[in-house]
Amino acid sequence: MKVKIYLSLVFFVSFSINTFGLCIPPAITSQPANTVVCLGGNTSFSVSATGASLNFQWQVNQGAGFVNLTNVIPYSGVTTSTLSITGVTFVLSDYLYRCIVSNGCAPNDTSAAALLKVNTPPSISIQPANDSVCDGSNGTFGVTTAGSGLTYQWQVNTGSGFVNVVGSTIYSGDTTATLSITGASASMNNYSFQCIINGTCAPSVTTSSALLIINALPAITLQPNIIDVCQGNTTSISITTTGTSLTYQWQVNSGSGFVDLTNTAPYSGVTTSSLTITAATMALNGSIYHCIISGVCSPAVISNSYPFSVHPIYSNYIPVTICQGDSTLFAGTYYSTPGLYPHLFSTVSGCDSLEYLSLSVSSAYYTTTTSVICNGDSVLLGTSFQSTAGVYTYVLPTISGCDSTIENTLSVKPSYHFNQSTTICQGDSALIFGNYESIDSLYTDNYTTFLGCDSIYTHQLNVVPPFAITLNANVCSGDSVIIAGTYESLSGTYINNYVSSFGCDSVVTTILMVQPNYSISRSISICSYDSVLLSGSFQTIAGIYIDSLFSTYGCDSIVTTSLSVNAAPIVVFDQTVSICDTASAFILTGGTPLGGTYSGIGVSAGIFSPSVAGLGTHTITYSYTDLAGCSDSDTSTITVTVCLGVNELNSDSYFSVYPNPFQDHIVIISNTNENLELQITNVLGESVLFQKINKGKTEINLADLSTGIYFIQSTTAGITRVQKLIKN
């Protein structure tokens, strides 16, 4: 019994605490859901909560933060658990809705935000237009539309009503806004096309129909006729063609290429299918004609080319001269007597001709002659030069072209030629042809034989000069050289006389030079990364090196080199940077020792320009040379990245920013477990905010910033991203 009383007391006390004096705040148990509705339709958002005496207040965020709703069309139920929206307009699309639930006990509970998406029915802003194409070419029909979730179905009417177009080798894009027709044929002329557009929201719409018009290519069905006419007659050249909107241009080739004809005598109809040539003259004979046919469609075609034959009507005299004893054939008869012979006949082309033969007869001749030449000469007899005695007969034409026979007897008389030579030393002389001669030359004396032919004597005089030779000799100090049988070791000029093989004097002068031996000392400095060739090897260590060499005369030359090695500078350049492509140019730093130079793409006078370098990772080199002339270099990289647009901000896999554009505040939602470093800069690259944030939602007050464009840079796990931010 005591136990029962105790339990009852505990229950009473507990009941009193829960129902009297303790305020329980509301708790939302069911969140509102995103909804999609067609333009003009109705929808609602609902929320469920626990707690006593609940109050509801629905709010909307149109892009500038949440504000309370009132029961004004299109809203109703704004203070109930269900918000109703009737006659939805497109302006409500992408609005966010949430509900604040209260009952006087703190804290109030706020629901999650739900998105309203408004879809519009399909509509047509630009109808498809007729398309005129050439046979075998491509055509297109397009429509410009608006609406949500649109689908397209093109239809064709070939004469029996509209049916759906099915994709094939001819049709493509049959379910898109643009229908393409590949290789349209003449059989498709006047086909009609229309498009049915369906969307997420009803009703569907159908475009007006558009025609496909096929223009025919120019073609020749009958080529021009062959032209053959007598002199003075009129003829024409005709052609038969097919095609759309054809034009004609006749051309003539008189030997210098085809040129356009004009309607001037003797031509007419030069731009029609039939060219007329009036009163053809012999000047037109051999001319070639063809026609160029053009139309709406290309290419133009060119007819076959035919030569124009104009046959003459003869009425002339034919003068003919024959030699005595000959005859000539004229009009089927041989004539050998001088006179005038007429003949009337028809040419092979059927044109009349009247010709007169005027015949003349010339005489022929026979002549004998003699010729005398000296041995070694020749004479022209007929068409050949002859040098051998004999009788030569040749035929020459007279001025009238008749044969003239000449017989020539040729006689050849002898001639003589004698040669002699003499050699003397310079300063002597020899008797030649009655004169003492001392000059090296060929002397000639001519005589005439009793038959009148030449007899020639030649005498070659050779004059041998005395020899005067100068020799240069070099010996090293301490050596000697043999000159004229004697060893000489002193510098000087030595003269010796000899007799040549012709018995003439010969003087040899030897100039002897005694060359010294050399001993040279020098100093050389190199950098620690260089080497120099000393003592037969490339040396890199400081020290004294001795080289034994030979001078240009083969004498000893000792070179002693003192080598010093200068330590090369150690250059360090570590400045790996990632920067926005719109950032301003900046001065490069970080290279040591100071005083070096920077080089690379986008670098000028030590300044890096992102806009000049362009997108990508660029290698920058820092080079330094010390006072001793030793140098070193190091490299680093600068990455120029694209500053992403507003739409890309919301899709970053590491964090998201909203609203954007913003007015006073932005909300950062970080999706990474690592600390996120955020830096906001203006368009001049100046930092206006630096803050580290953790995973989750962080609200940042930017009310002090002026309106304009900013860039938000996020860094996590060593990766930097730059995005655009707009303040209204």
* 287-324 tens-digit pLDDT: 899 999 998 898 999 989 888 888 888 777 788 888 87
d(CA 156, CA 153): 10
Mean pLDDT of the 620-636 span: 89
Q: Is pLDDT of 416 > 60?
A: yes
Token pair of 253, please?
């080739």
Beta-carbon contacts of 417 under 8 Å, excluding residues fewer than 6 positions away, are 455, 456, 458
Beta-carbon contacts of 232 under 8 Å, excluding residues fewer than 6 positions away, are 279, 280, 281, 313
Residues 727/661, Cβ–Cβ less than 8 Å: yes
Beta-carbon contacts of 251 under 8 Å, excluding residues fewer than 6 positions away, are 258, 259, 260, 261, 289, 290, 291, 292
d(CA 620, CA 633): 10
Which segment of 552-566, 593-607, 622-636 scores lowest on mean pLDDT? 552-566
Mean pLDDT of the 645-659 span: 53
Which segment of 14-28, 155-169, 453-467, 640-654 scores lowest on mean pLDDT? 640-654
**Per-residue burial over 364-373, b = 16 or more CB atoms within 10 Å of its CB, e = otherwise:** beeeeeeeeb
Which segment of 183-187, 567-571, 585-589, 724-728 scores lowest on mean pLDDT? 585-589
Helix (H, G, I), strand (E, B) or coil at 517: coil
More confident residue, 458 or 587: 458
* pLDDT tens-digit readout, 264-292: 999 999 999 999 999 888 888 888 999 99
At residue 369, the pLDDT reads: 85
Which segment of 10-19, 134-143, 293-302 scores lowest on mean pLDDT? 10-19
Confidence tier at 643 by pLDDT (50, 70, 90): low
Q: If we measure between CA atoms, which residue out of 520, 523, 485, 323 comes closest to residue 404?
A: 323
Helix (H, G, I), strand (E, B) or coil at 713: strand
Token pair of 202, please?
């009803």
The conformation of residue 226, written as its DSSP 8-state character, comes to: P
The percent of residues in the chain predicted with pLDDT above 90, rounded, is 33
Residues 93/118, Cβ–Cβ less than 8 Å: yes
**Per-residue burial over 485-496, b = 16 or more CB atoms within 10 Å of its CB, e = otherwise:** eeebeeeeebee
- Dihedral of CA 122/125/130/136: which sign? negative
pTM: 0.40
* pLDDT tens-digit readout, 673-717: 777 788 888 866 788 888 888 877 788 888 888 888 888 887 776
- Dihedral of CA 335/340/341/343: which sign? positive
Helix (H, G, I), strand (E, B) or coil at 652: coil
Pick the CATH number of 572-641 from 2.40.50.360, 3.40.50.970, 2.60.40.10, 3.65.10.10: 2.60.40.10
At residue 250, the pLDDT reads: 94
d(CA 365, CA 201): 121
At residue 345, the pLDDT reads: 67
At residue 8, the pLDDT reads: 35
Query: Nearest 5 degrees, angle CA 190-CA 192-CA 198?
Result: 165
722, burial (CB in 10 Å: exposed 0-12, middle 13-18, buried 19+): buried
* pLDDT tens-digit readout, 336-356: 788 877 877 677 767 877 777
Which segment of 202-206, 336-340, 603-607 scores lowest on mean pLDDT? 336-340
Mean pLDDT of the 539-560 span: 83
Confidence tier at 402 by pLDDT (50, 70, 90): confident
More confident residue, 577 or 727: 727
Beta-carbon contacts of 230 under 8 Å, excluding residues fewer than 6 positions away, are 280, 310, 311, 313, 349, 350, 351
Of 196-210, 435-449, 574-588, 681-695, give the range with the top mean pLDDT. 196-210
Give DSSP secondary structure letters for 461-478: EEEEPPEEEEEEEEEETT
- The letter for the amino acid at 349 is S
Structure-token match 């007869």, residue found: 361
Structure-token match 């209260």, residue found: 102
Residues 55/20, Cβ–Cβ less than 8 Å: no
Cα distances (angstroms) measured from residue 564 to each of 288, 561, 628:
92, 10, 11
More confident residue, 274 or 450: 274
Confidence tier at 5 by pLDDT (50, 70, 90): very low
Which segment of 19-33, 128-142, 638-652, 686-700 scores lowest on mean pLDDT? 638-652
At residue 294, the pLDDT reads: 94
Q: Is pLDDT of 363 > 80?
A: no
What is the radius of gyration, based on Cα positions, of the chain?
59
CATH architecture of 646-727: Sandwich (2.60)
d(CA 154, CA 179): 7
Helix (H, G, I), strand (E, B) or coil at 366: strand
Of 142-151, 219-228, 327-336, 719-728, give the range with the top mean pLDDT. 142-151
- Dihedral of CA 660/665/670/674: which sign? positive
Domain edges within the chain: 27-119, 128-215, 219-311, 315-362, 416-464, 467-515, 518-566, 572-641, 646-727
128-215 and 572-641 share one CATH topology?
Answer: yes
At residue 678, the pLDDT reads: 84
At residue 644, the pLDDT reads: 52
**In the CATH hierarchy, which fold is given to the domain comprising 219-311?**
Immunoglobulin-like (2.60.40)
* pLDDT tens-digit readout, 501-513: 667 877 888 898 8
Residues 544/562, Cβ–Cβ less than 8 Å: yes
At residue 576, the pLDDT reads: 67
Confidence tier at 21 by pLDDT (50, 70, 90): low
Pick the CATH number of 128-215 from 3.40.50.670, 3.60.15.10, 3.40.630.190, 2.60.40.10: 2.60.40.10
What is the overall mean pLDDT for the chain? 84
d(CA 283, CA 303): 23
Confidence tier at 54 by pLDDT (50, 70, 90): very high
More confident residue, 699 or 497: 699
Q: Is pLDDT of 484 > 80?
A: no
Give DSSP secondary structure letters for 436-501: EE-SSEEEEEEEE-TTS-EEEEEEEEEEEPPEEEEEEEEEETT--EEETTEEE-S-EEEEEEEE-T
CATH architecture of 27-119: Sandwich (2.60)
